[in-house]
Structure 1
């Protein structure tokens, strides 16, 4: 009888510990330190091309990155953009500068090519708004400690659009979102 009570007490303590762990993970779903349950990170995003043909005359002002529990995120800021931003995002075997066709090496297991319908310069004044340089890493972007993002390269700003090469760990699912003058590209940590 004593062994039965000891077994019941041990099971209750183990169950309480599991419940506390689950509560902590649910409370911080977007924290970089939190580990999400396996089913919380499942995606149906796919890895096929995602595009939208919308015009924009406002310049790209910044590109930044962030880490989330289930994905790494890249955000293109286009201040003052009204309506949806045109884009074309898809995996490529090699990254070539738009306009010249010159090859640009991008590290990682796969390359996601991103075109955003926003030039890196002000179309009226021709003044550069985003300091990207062809073939160079994106200015101010640090990928240290990222699970999925491995490298970035600026391709070009040509004919009203900006091109970026994003090196990722593997050909993983991704999605493209838009909100308030921002184009957001999320790449999942796993399938």
Structure 2
């Protein structure tokens, strides 16, 4: 026969047993040894959406800005991947360069930006006609205001169109050097 004390003990064991089983079998989800994930070139440590970065010179003047619809940072590569990047680079004499591409990579030290896919550079001077440069790839070196490519380039300005294989751009000097296979066409108004 069950006495009142034994009945209370049996009820207490029935109530406590499921909690003890749950705690012992699955309640503790922490691994016994830490899981270390091997970092590879395809491992990113963070990402951001709708980013904008602004850069200022030592004298406090605005140097450039970059926008991107999405950015992934890859620590093993010391670089970030940019989706649909757009840059604005103001010029000393007024006007601005606007650079856009489908994707790009920017090094962590900001020394180089590698752009690819429908790269377009729009030069909008303070006075005079603007120009557009279109290519498939472009490497921009923002600290020296220089850019280069080995790909086919099309330059359009005021009814003139020039094609070249490769070019170098010196943004501060507003100078472009066409490297090879240069062909031009002028459409009279």
Query: TM-score, with normalisation over the residues of structure 1?
Result: 0.28
Name the one with the larger strand percent. 2
Query: TM-score, with normalisation over the residues of structure 2?
Result: 0.28
Structure with more relative contact order (C-alpha pairs < 8 Å, separation 6 or more): 1
